[in-house]
């Protein structure tokens, strides 16, 4: 099955979140807070490492600026919030502004961005589509499964629903692999990963409560290095 790696990845996130939910009620708040801070710092470090993957700083800056403009015009952040709130209302039985103070939505968006942004998602999906090699996505599944345990214990069931965007995002790349492979040269992949690293850094900053960055609206920035590469080929 061509999307086997993606299916396993989504299943690992679901399983990890369910395990995390078992610990959610049994851990005192002070431990949850400290663990969440530790996870936030780890996410920040992962983002910094990814952001330093490319030396093409102008491409990264341009992609972030233009991508943010496009994302705001498309109201991506608002769409993610609406989806998260709708799922929260449907599956947790809580109205907006009540219950866990938006933890369902925060967990859904945070987990989605962490699991979908990064080179492993792109490269692994390409390998699945082009060669039927799922090893990278299997490795990613193990990492995401462990991460979802921690996120699930902190944010709750919203993390579980991030498995749907994972399936759609990675599955789409896998199915389109034959068509986009010629444009994903190592230079472009490193630039996309660098932009993704900046977004992961922003996730860490949000988790620490230091700011409220509209990361969802910055998502188009990840794909702009590929657009820049195409423009260079044409002109």
In total, how many domains does the chain have?
Answer: 1
Helix (H) or strand (E) segment spanning residue 50: helix 29-51
pTM: 0.75
- The mean pLDDT of 64-93, rounded to a whole number, is 84
In degrees and rounded to multiples of 5, residue 99 shows phi and psi of: 70, -120
**For residue 62, how many C-alpha atoms fall within 13 Å in the half-sphere facing its CB?**
11
Burial 196-214 (b: 16+ CB within 10 A, else e): bbbbbbbbbbbbeeeeebb
> Residue 123 sits in which domain range?
4-234
Q: For the segment 85-128, what is each residue's pLDDT rounded down to a tens digit?
A: 787 777 765 544 444 556 888 888 889 888 987 777 887 888 88
Question: What confidence tens digit (pLDDT) does each residue in 132-173 have?
Answer: 889 889 989 988 998 898 888 888 888 999 999 999 999 998
């Amino acid at each position: 099955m061509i999307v086997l790696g993606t299916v396993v990845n989504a299943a690992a996130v679901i399983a990890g979140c369910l395990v995390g939910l078992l610990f959610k009620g049994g851990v005192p708040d002070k431990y949850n807070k400290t663990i969440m801070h530790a996870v936030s710092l780890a996410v920040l470090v992962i983002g910094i490492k990814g952001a330093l993957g490319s030396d093409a700083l102008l491409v990264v800056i341009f992609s972030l600026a233009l991508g943010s403009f496009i994302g705001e015009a498309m109201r991506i952040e608002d769409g993610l919030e609406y989806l998260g709130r709708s799922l929260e209302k449907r599956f947790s039985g809580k109205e907006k502004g009540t219950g866990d103070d938006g933890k369902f939505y925060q967990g859904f968006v945070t987990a989605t961005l962490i699991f979908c942004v990064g080179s492993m998602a792109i490269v692994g999906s390409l390998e699945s589509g082009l060669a039927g090699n799922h090893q990278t996505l299997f490795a990613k599944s193990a990492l995401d499964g462990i991460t979802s345990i921690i996120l699930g214990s902190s944010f709750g069931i919203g993390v579980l629903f991030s498995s749907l965007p994972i399936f759609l995002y990675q599955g789409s790349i896998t199915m389109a692999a034959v068509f986009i492979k010629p444009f994903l040269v190592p230079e472009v992949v490193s630039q996309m990963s660098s932009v993704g690293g900046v977004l992961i850094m922003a996730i860490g900053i949000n988790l620490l409560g230091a700011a409220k960055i509209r990361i969802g609206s910055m998502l188009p920035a990840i794909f702009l290095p590929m657009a820049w590469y195409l423009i260079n080929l044409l002109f």
